[in-house]
Amino acid sequence: MVPIIAISREEQAARQMHLYRGVYPLLYTVPKNDDWKADIDLRVAFGMKAGQAHGFIKSNDLIIIITGWSKGSGHTNTMRIMRVP
**Can you give the pLDDT at residue 38?**
94
What CATH number should be reported for the domain holding residue 61? 3.40.1380.20
Number of domains in the chain: 1
Please check whether residue 1 is in contact with residue 20, taking contact to mean a CB–CB distance below 8 angstroms.
no
Summarize pLDDT for 54-77 with one digit per residue, the tens. 999 999 999 999 987 767 676 677
**Can you give the pLDDT at residue 67?**
87
- What's this model's pTM, rounded to 2 decimal places? 0.86
CB atoms under 10 Å from CB of 26, counted, come to 18
Average pLDDT, rounded, for the chain:
92
**For residues 9-19, average pLDDT:** 96
What are residue 4's phi and psi, to 5 degrees? -110, 120
